[in-house]
């Protein structure tokens, strides 16, 4: 684990993408011996990751790996399988190495870097990387191999990375004028965790997935009484209510939540209900959907993303002006 794999060799295209340059520039630098390279027996150019990073540092070129010095090869080795075949195993291995060393800042930066990567969708990032790491953390804690303090530090690091990604994304959409107040016709969702459930990272992921799908999301956060989901839905005319169930959540929790939501349901302000979270639930044929537009359980953010893309919960024209036009 300690050993840095310094023999990693990149193709010209990989070196070009790291240096944010055209492959022909990389070839020119190699031909001019500015960038050390070798040819394989088959005549293909290979450039060591060490040479690429030295070249970048000397020229002041910022790369995604730069901030991880001296772990550039580790990070490259962790990110490549995600880009190539959607495998998060190496990433989680590296993240756990840093957790064991107490290097939570590096961990946060790793997740920030991956969350920004254009080779990975945001929902896949949440389902694969965020959930993948945190379930490993939970497992190690259960086995007594990690302290509660480590778990808390990881939670802080991952939440920090997610909130930073959200801020960057909101700044970007504000710049592009996509969410101008007053002309905001985005469909509205309420997202939070069920009463008693303090596990908020899944709900935060859902909030951000929906925002990226063009939703305005009201996010009261963790441990919300079901009545409050109903009040927020009604006052803000949300067309989708998303409730994150606790890890041991059951069909009984779903049935109870629905019976409370039913009491407050206003047919003039229809909405769909999406439950989600770690429990393995199937609602098929088990619950009455009436009077909701639909009721479903999703174990992944990606599944909800696909459902909203297929029309779940909106878009729609508001029944009357929202009571308050404040931001989510
Ligand atoms: C971090 C953590 C905590 C933190 C949470 C902090 C926070 N701000 O969120 C703290 C320390 C508070 C905590 C407390 C507890 N925890 Co805890 N915790 C975890 C841990 C390590 C990670 C959970 C997490 O964030 N996962 C990452 C997210 C992204 O995954 P996710 O929630 O599954 O969400 C994904 C999907 O489920 C889905 N999704 C989630 N919500 C929704 C909603 C909708 C609408 C949709 C569509 C999809 C969707 O999309 C998400 C992205 O993929 C897990 C380990 C594990 N295996 O999960 C234990 C774990 C869940 N905790 C556990 C326990 C026992 C507890 C405590 C009881 C411990 C205690 N004795 O105090 C308390 C309970 C607190 C409470 N009342 O809720 C157990 C639960 C066992 C069980 N089956 O009941 C676990 C599994 C650990 C273990 N291996 O034993 N915990």
pLDDT digits (tens, 9 = 90+) for 71-94: 999 999 999 999 999 999 999 999
Is residue 6 pLDDT above 90, yes or no? no
Mean pLDDT of 96-104: 97
What is the pLDDT, as a whole number, of residue 180? 61
Residue 97, CB half-sphere, CA atoms under 13 Å: how many?
A: 16
Give residue 274's pLDDT band: very low, low, confident or very high (50, 70, 90). Answer: very high
pLDDT > 70 fraction of the chain, expressed in percent and rounded: 92
Residue 39 or residue 326, greater confidence:
39
- Of ligand 1's listed atoms, the one at least distance from the Cα of 139 is 89
What is the pLDDT, as a whole number, of residue 174? 81
Which residue owns the Cα nearest ligand 1 atom 19? Answer: 138
What is the pLDDT, as a whole number, of residue 316? 54
Asked if 230 contacts 260 with a C-beta cutoff of 8 angstroms, the reply is: yes
What is the pLDDT, as a whole number, of residue 298? 96
Ligand 1 mean position to 247 CA, how many Å? 6
- DSSP per position, 186-233: --EEEEEEETT----HHHHHHHHHHHHTT-EEEEEEEEE-HHHHHHHH
Q: Which has the closest alpha carbon to 52: 12, 5, 81?
A: 12
Asked if 105 contacts 68 with a C-beta cutoff of 8 angstroms, the reply is: no
Residue 204 burial by CB count (10 A; 0-12/13-18/19+): exposed, middle or buried?
buried
Ligand 1 mean position to 256 CA, how many Å? 21
Asked if 164 contacts 145 with a C-beta cutoff of 8 angstroms, the reply is: no
Contacts of 285 (CB under 8 A, 6+ apart): none
What is the pLDDT, as a whole number, of residue 177? 65
What is the pLDDT, as a whole number, of residue 285? 82
């Amino acid at each position: 684990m300690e050993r840095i794999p310094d023999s990693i060799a990149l193709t010209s295209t990989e070196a070009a993408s790291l240096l944010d340059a055209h492959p022909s520039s990389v070839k020119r630098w190699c031909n001019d011996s500015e960038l050390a390279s070798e040819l394989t027996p088959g005549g293909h150019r290979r450039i060591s990751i060490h040479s690429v990073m030295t070249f970048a540092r000397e020229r002041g070129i910022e790369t995604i790996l730069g901030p991880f010095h001296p772990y550039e090869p580790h990070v490259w080795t962790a990110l490549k399988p995600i880009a190539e075949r959607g495998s998060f195993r190496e990433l989680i291995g590296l993240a756990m190495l840093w957790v064991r060393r107490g290097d939570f800042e590096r961990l946060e930066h790793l997740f920030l870097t991956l969350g920004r990567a254009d080779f990975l969708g945001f929902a896949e990032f949440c389902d694969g990387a965020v959930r993948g790491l945190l379930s490993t953390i939970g497992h190690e804690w259960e086995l007594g191999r990690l302290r509660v303090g480590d778990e808390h530090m990881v939670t802080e690091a991952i939440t920090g990375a997610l909130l930073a990604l959200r801020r960057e994304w909101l700044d970007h959409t504000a710049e592009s004028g996509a969410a101008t107040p007053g002309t905001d016709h985005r469909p509205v969702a309420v997202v939070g965790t069920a009463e008693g459930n303090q596990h908020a990272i899944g709900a935060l992921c859902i909030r951000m997935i929906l925002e990226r799908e063009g939703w305005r999301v009201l996010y009261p956060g963790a441990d919300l009484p079901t009545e409050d989901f109903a009040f927020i839905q009604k006052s803000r005319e949300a067309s989708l209510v998303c409730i994150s169930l606790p890890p041991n959540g059951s069909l009984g929790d779903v049935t109870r939540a629905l019976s409370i939501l039913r009491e407050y349901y206003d047919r003039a302000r229809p909405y769909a209900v999406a439950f989600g979270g770690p429990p393995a639930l199937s609602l098929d044929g088990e619950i009455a959907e009436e009077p909701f537009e639909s009721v479903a359980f999703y174990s992944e953010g990606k599944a909800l993303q696909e459902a909203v893309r297929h029309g779940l919960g909106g878009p729609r024209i508001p029944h009357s002006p929202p009571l308050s036009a404040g931001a989510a």
